[in-house]
């Protein structure tokens, strides 16, 4: 198949590109390389003749005017993510994420099949208000607790993209599936998320070892499992028009326990120093994957310790 990855040079994007190329598909990546142009892994993968890479700013209409059609699968993964980015410039988050989705909506033609990457952050308001159960299903109402809070910028931008593409699919005749990712982690993720951020600090020998939100819990999903779920959803006709959770609900883990695991795997004997969690972070997050399993038969296969071990080894270099 011919596959277009919009934002394919990012974290999940490059892992997905590698998987699709390994499966024998022809893949084209369009990315603005905001993560940096000197990406050795991307350069290595691009040596495969089945993979093409081009620069493109998805917020610029000019990029879309020259983008051809004829793809069997289209994935929109491009977005500004990460708590630090959101808090530093929430207006940029809203602008980039919304424009990428709206330009895609205008560009799509009948019959095309698209995946839109969304986020578990859309439930933050409902979790804070106590109206969402954990594990959390797709039917939970999404709420915005405080639109002036920078952290909500990311969730709001993703909700706009979901609405635009779901309603646009009905009007224009393309097919879309929305995947709400829950705490996906793994190699080449950057340093703005819990697992890699703590890994980097542990490898640097931080003592004592500071653990923000130590009392919180999360259900972490290794990136290979997330990619497997994504591919299965795109191959499932019954997923069209649906919002589906992607994650790992088999091992909800305390952040303090995650820190202990990272310290052990990095060979550190530092003492843990609990600290306040990031403003707006929820105390507990775990997806209900009933719908994903019913549609695809998905089951996560990478246990937390193995996934963290792989991640630590990548960051160790």
Burial of 210 (0-12, 13-18, 19+ CB in 10 A): middle
Q: 25 lies in a domain? A: no
48-52 long-range contacts, CB within 8 A, separation 24+: 48/21, 50/21, 50/24, 50/25, 50/26, 51/17, 51/21, 51/27, 52/27, 52/28
> Is the C-alpha dihedral spanning 233, 295, 138, 214 positive or negative?
negative
Q: What's the pLDDT tens digit per position in 173-229?
A: 999 999 999 999 999 999 989 999 999 999 999 999 999 999 999 999 999 999 999
178, part of any domain: yes
Residues of the domain holding 128: 79-316
**Dihedral Cα 166, 184, 220, 134, nearest 10 deg:** -20
User: What pLDDT score does 9 carry?
Assistant: 94
In a domain, 66, yes or no: no
Is 191 part of a structural domain of the chain? yes
Predicted pLDDT at 38: 66
Residue 68 located in a structural domain: no
How much is the pLDDT for 39? 82
pLDDT score for 177: 98
pLDDT of the residue at 34? 84
Structure confidence by residue, pLDDT tens digits, 105-139? 999 999 999 999 999 999 999 999 999 999 999 99
Question: Residue 36: its pLDDT value, please?
Answer: 58
CATH of the domain at 227: 3.40.50.720
- How many domains does the chain divide into? 1
What pLDDT score was predicted for residue 84? 84
Residue 100 falls inside a structural domain: yes
- From the list 177, 293, 133, 166, the residue with the least C-alpha distance to 225 is 293
Check residue 136 and give its pLDDT. Answer: 98
Q: Would you tell me how many other CB atoms lie within 10 Å of the CB of residue 58? A: 24
pLDDT score of 40: 86
Bond prior to 29 in cis (omega within 30° of 0): no
Beta partners for residue 75, in sequence order? 5, 115
What are the φ/ψ torsions at residue 167 (nearest 5 degrees)? -75, -35
Q: Within a domain: residue 38? A: no
Structural domain includes residue 302: yes
Within the chain, which residues score under 70 in pLDDT?
Answer: 36-38
């Amino acid at each position: 198949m011919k596959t277009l990855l919009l934002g394919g040079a990012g974290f999940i994007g490059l892992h997905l590109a590698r998987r699709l190329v390994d499966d024998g598909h022809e893949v084209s990546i369009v990315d603005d390389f905001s993560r940096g142009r000197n990406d050795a892994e991307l350069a290595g993968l691009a040596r495969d003749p089945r993979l093409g890479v081009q620069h493109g700013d998805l917020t610029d209409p000019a990029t879309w005017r020259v983008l051809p059609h004829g793809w069997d699968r289209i994935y929109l993964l491009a977005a500004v993510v990460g708590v630090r980015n959101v808090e530093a410039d929430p207006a940029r988050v809203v602008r980039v994420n919304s424009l990428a989705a709206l330009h895609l909506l205008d560009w799509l033609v009948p019959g095309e099949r698209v995946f839109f990457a969304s986020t578990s952050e859309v439930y933050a308001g409902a979790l804070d208000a106590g109206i969402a159960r954990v594990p959390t299903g797709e039917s939970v109402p999404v709420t915005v607790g405080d639109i002036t809070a920078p952290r909500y910028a990311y969730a709001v931008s993703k909700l706009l993209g979901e609405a635009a593409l779901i309603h646009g699919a009905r009007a224009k005749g393309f097919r879309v599936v929305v995947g709400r990712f829950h705490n996906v982690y793994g190699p080449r993720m950057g340093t703005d998320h819990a697992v890699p951020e703590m890994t980097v600090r542990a490898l640097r020998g931080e003592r004592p070892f500071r653990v923000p939100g130590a009392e919180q819990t999360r259900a972490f999903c290794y990136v290979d499992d997330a990619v497997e779920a994504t591919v299965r959803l795109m191959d499932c006709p019954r997923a069209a028009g649906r919002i589906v959770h992607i994650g790992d609900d088999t091992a909800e883990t305390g952040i303090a326990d995650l820190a202990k695991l990272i310290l052990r795997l990095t060979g550190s004997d530092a003492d843990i120093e609990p600290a306040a969690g990031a403003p707006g972070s929820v105390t507990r997050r775990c997806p209900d994957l009933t719908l994903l399993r019913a549609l695809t038969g998905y089951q996560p296969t990478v246990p937390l310790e193995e996934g963290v071990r792989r991640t630590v080894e990548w960051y160790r270099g």
